[in-house]
Amino acid sequence: MRQLTRRLTREQFMRTTLSLDDALLAKAQQLTGVTEKSALVREALRALIARESARRLARLGGTEPDLESVPRRPSEPA
């Protein structure tokens, strides 16, 4: 008999002290509606990572004319 087990994991957090520009923080809170500072910093880091990842991908540039057509997921209506 095979026993199935589930491994429970928790997100790991690191406490740190940051010096934040009050005006930038207030503007970000106003634009996003996120008032908790930790959540706001997490969202900012995610956005920065996404932007830089996209920038790196764009830098690869170029085309591959001999590449076979790649199936794509249908886009959702706007």
Quickly state the pLDDT bin for 11 (edges 50, 70, 90): low
Report the pLDDT value the prediction gives residue 8, as an integer from 0 to 100: 56
- For residue 15, CA distances in Å to 12, 44, 72 come to 10, 17, 41
Tokens at 11, concatenated: 């997100």
Residue 59, CA atoms < 13 Å, CB-side half-sphere:
6
Whole-number pLDDT of residue 6: 58
Domain ranges of the chain: 22-57
Closest CA to 28 of 43, 15, 46: 43
Reported as a single tens digit per residue, the pLDDT across 25-65 is 999 999 999 999 999 999 999 999 999 999 988 888 877 77
As given in the structure block, the two tokens for residue 17 are 């002290």
